[in-house]
């Protein structure tokens, strides 16, 4: 089965973009968030905020996570 990139529903802070990238690459989402924040703050050529907003619209939410939460709550 092919792996797909989704925004995280379970581990999101704003829109779930960094958590989704972390889940995709099997990396702790906190590390992704730290790297993303450092690139955004310390790099003039990295348009971090604009890129995050664009990714939040482009990357779909994970539909499987919604179903997992429903099954676990019953």
User: How far apart, in whole angstroms, are the C-alpha atoms of residue 23 and residue 16?
Assistant: 10
For residue 31, pLDDT over 90 is answered with yes
Residue with tokens 């529903």: 9
Task: Extract the tokens encoding 14.
Answer: 């704003």
pLDDT band per the 50, 70, 90 thresholds, residue 65? low
pLDDT tens digits for 38-62?
988 888 777 888 888 899 999 998 8
Model's pTM, two decimal places?
0.74
The predicted model gives 27-34 an average pLDDT of 92
Per 3-state DSSP, what percentage of the chain is helix, strand, and coil (rounded to 5)? Answer: 60, 5, 35
- Distance between start and end Cα atoms, the chain: 28
User: How far apart, in whole angstroms, are the C-alpha atoms of residue 9 and residue 45?
Assistant: 30
């Amino acid at each position: 089965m092919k792996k797909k990139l989704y925004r995280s529903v379970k581990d999101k802070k704003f829109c779930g973009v960094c958590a989704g990238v972390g889940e995709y690459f099997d990396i702790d989402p906190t590390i992704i968030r730290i790297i993303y924040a450092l690139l955004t703050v310390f790099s003039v050529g990295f348009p971090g905020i604009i890129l995050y907003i664009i990714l939040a619209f482009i990357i779909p939410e994970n539909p499987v996570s919604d179903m997992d939460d429903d099954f676990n709550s019953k």
